[in-house]
Amino acid sequence: MVERLTRMLPALLLAGFLGMAAAQEAKPLAEDPMLEAKVMAIAEELRCLVCQNETIAASHADLAVDLRKQIRQKLQQGQTQAQILDFMVQRYGDFVLYRPPVKSSTWLLWGGPFLLLAVAVAALVLNIRRRRTLAAAPLKADEAERVRRLLAEEKSSS
């Protein structure tokens, strides 16, 4: 009996954890699933400032919960996504946007990868050209002499 119980223990524990997870997740959503989907779509665009690598949609931070509430209210008031994102930027700055706008302070962010690509391509082209000129350069007199000698040695040894 005891053995059977211990064998079942992992399953029991798992069942317990699943129950807990479900209990946590079962918070009632807003009555309107369409609205909730919209709230989440906008929240996905916003960075949570408390835990900076999470979106407001994913974060459990208090502030993220509050901001989701704000988004919901503003949507109910008939505001557009652009208006809501603008509301957030006015308060928290461009940092809240997961897609930062292109402007003078972010051109390096947007252009940097292309700049690196250009440098890499330039290096590659230079390298290829240099190799080509190396291959095409004619042998100097002493080099030609050495080649002849080596070839002659090989012939005599075979």
Partner 1 sequence: MKRYLIPLIVFVVLVGFLAVGLNLKPREVPSPLIDKPAPAFSLARLDAPEQKLGLEDLKGKVWLLNVWASWCVACRQEHPVLVDLARQNVVPIYGLNYKDKRDDALAWLGRYGNPYIASLSDSEGLVGIDYGVYGVPETFVVDKTGTIRLKHIGPVTPEALRDTILPLVRKLNG
Which parts of this chain interact with partner 1 (CB under 8 A)? 49-50, 52, 62-63, 66-67, 70, 89-95
Whether the Cβ atoms of residue 99 and residue 88 lie closer than 8 Å to each other? no
Shortest spacing between CB 116 and partner 1, in angstroms: 12
User: Which residue from 54, 57, 42 is spatially nearest to 88, judged by alpha carbons?
Assistant: 42
Compare residues 40 and 89 and give the one whose CB is closer to partner 1: 89
Coil, strand, or helix at residue 148?
helix
Plot region of 78 (φ>0 → left; ψ -120 to 50 → alpha; else → beta): left
Shortest spacing between CB 108 and partner 1, in angstroms: 12
Compare residues 52 and 104 and give the one whose CB is closer to partner 1: 52
Compare residues 6 and 90 and give the one whose CB is closer to partner 1: 90
Shortest spacing between CB 31 and partner 1, in angstroms: 21
* Phi, then psi, of 50 in degrees rounded to 5: -80, -50
